[in-house]
Amino acid sequence: MDLRRKGISCAKVLGAIERVPRHEFVPKEVRDQAWEDMALPIGRGQTISQPFVVAIMTQALKLSDRDKILEIGTGCGYQSAVLSRMCRRVYTIERHKPLLERAEAKFEDLKLRNITAIAADGMKGWPRMHGIDQAPFDKIIVTAAARDKPPQALLDQLKDGGCMIIPVGGSGEQVLRLYRKESDQAYSVKDVMPVRFVPLLPDVAKDVEVA
Cα radius of gyration (the chain): 16
Model pLDDT for residues 15-46, shown as the tens digit of each residue: 999 999 999 999 999 999 998 999 999 999 89
Residue in 115, 113, 137, 109 with CA at minimum distance from that of residue 125: 137
Let me know if 186 is exposed, middle or buried by CB neighbors in 10 A (0-12, 13-18, 19+). Answer: exposed
Domain for residue 30, yes or no?
yes
Domain for residue 208, yes or no?
no
Q: For 137-146, what is the mean pLDDT?
A: 97
What is the sign of the dihedral through the CA atoms of 154, 166, 48 and 209? positive
Domain for residue 66, yes or no?
yes
CATH classification of the domain holding 74: 3.40.50.150
Task: Give the total number of structural domains in the chain.
Answer: 1
Taking the C-alpha atoms of residue 28 and residue 42, their distance in angstroms, rounded to an integer, is 10
**Active-site residue, selected from the candidate residues 49, 80, 171, 188:** 49
| Residue 208: predicted pLDDT | 59
Domain for residue 165, yes or no?
no
Domain for residue 168, yes or no?
no
pTM here is 0.94
The answer to whether 49 is a known catalytic residue is yes
pLDDT confidence band for 209 (50 / 70 / 90): low
pLDDT confidence band for 211 (50 / 70 / 90): very low
Maximum alpha-carbon separation in the chain: 47
Domain for residue 72, yes or no?
yes
Residue 124, Cβ neighbours under 10 Å: how many?
A: 16
- Which distant-in-sequence residues (6+ apart) come within 8 Å of 115 by Cβ? 77, 80, 81, 84, 89, 90, 92, 107
Domain for residue 150, yes or no?
no
Domain for residue 179, yes or no?
no
pLDDT > 70: percent of the chain: 98
What is the residue range of 133's domain? 2-140
Alpha helices of the chain — where are they, by DSSP H? 2-5, 11-19, 51-61, 78-84, 97-109, 152-156
Model pLDDT for residues 92-116, shown as the tens digit of each residue: 999 999 999 999 999 999 999 999 9
